Structure 1
Amino acid sequence: MKTQGLREALLSGVMIAGTAAGMGIAPPVHAQFGGIVYDPSNYAQNVLTAARSLEQINNQIRQIQNQATSLINEAKNLASLPVSTLSTLQQQVQQTRTLLAQAQRIAYSVQDIQSAFTQRYKGANLNASQSQMVSNANARWQDSVGALEDAMRVQAGVVSNLDGTRTSIDTLVSASQSASGALQATQAGNQLLALQSQQLADLTAAIAAQGRAQSLEAARNAAEEAEARERLRRFFKK
């Protein structure tokens, strides 16, 4: 307020001096008041100089204010998201991996599958003895039961992850909506994408476990059918 009043007073002095000159009033070039020499033209020039200086100061103040606002906005854009669901996500992924690693009888391994099928599923075993056929049939039954149990355990693990997933989604959506800058919004979006990837991984694991169980059951049925024909052939051959 003081700066504004000073500028107005200075500008008023300039206008008065200009008006007097326009009306043909020529003040004395030099007037003396109490021993002090007064020069109107010099006074008017000083007033104009002061007004220009004041305007420059105001412009500099506005520039500083704009720079401060810009720095505040940049700081907001660089601020990190105050929440993170990474630890929960890692725990859920590790739980699913652990369940898959606990597969019974036949693991999720090409070598294990090939070895198991060679020993008790393929047609070469039709030349085995009767007792060996019975043993193979029992082993295949255990494979199927174990695979079905594994599938149900993986499915149960996926379902148990749903509560944590729902909580993480609510947290991230809330953080994204209240994000103060571009970086926070981006980080919230990245965590939501990671959460979606985890859900897809859980779904893939459940489908794989279920498919494994179904495949082993189908292979068991095929092997038992082949062995039944072989036992029937041996019966009539006697």
Structure 2
Amino acid sequence: MPHHVLAVAHRGDPYRHRENTLPSVESALAAGADAVEVDVQLTRDGVPVLLHDLTLERLWGDPRPVGRVTLAELEQIGGPGLRVPTLAEAVKAVAERPGARLLVDLDDPGPAAAAHAVVAGLGAEGLVGWCGPVGAMLAVRELDPAAELSLTWKLPRLPVPALLADLRPRYLNPPFGLVDAEYVAEAAGAGLAVSAWTADRRRTMTRLLRAGVASVTSNRIGLLRRVLDA
């Protein structure tokens, strides 16, 4: 097993608090997360906020697309302590925990420029990593030659060398079902560490550790922390 495997909290601590909210982020950090992965969408006025879905329906009971709602309107949804936070607020929350990091998950390139501007404006480039598919990661790489990238990859074969040369990711980020020791070794041969998602069962976590992954993402960050510390 690796000497140190990163524990990444998926959307915070969603079994205890609503995903992609500040209480969820703070709970994950308190539970021992090395990094908290959050999703980002843009409001109508271009503010990066924490939300996975394109609409507010599932989490907030509002059918509107977040892209049609201004930040001021968004702040009226939810209530004190439980609302859709901005990316800037999440960065600041993680910055208060020494050694912790934020992992910004982008499903597409659209929010990349605005999200990177927030991170750069806070001087937090060293605190924030980025993950997502090829298009989103290419957008981040163009904005920041030094950004730490985790390339989300759902194919059993590795990316072609030309793509890796363009992106220069630190991590290959596959779903846990693709990962075994052979996969990890092949990735290492290409200069990549493996960060697997989203493992919520002790048995899966243990299997990934034995395979030699560098990072595990989970909705159950408390359990993952216990498995890693055992």
TM-score when normalising by structure 2? 0.19
Normalized per residue, the structure richer in strand is 2
Normalized per residue, the structure richer in helix is 1
User: In terms of Rg, which structure is larger?
Assistant: 1
TM-score when normalising by structure 1? 0.19
Higher relative contact order (CA 8 A, sep 6+): 1
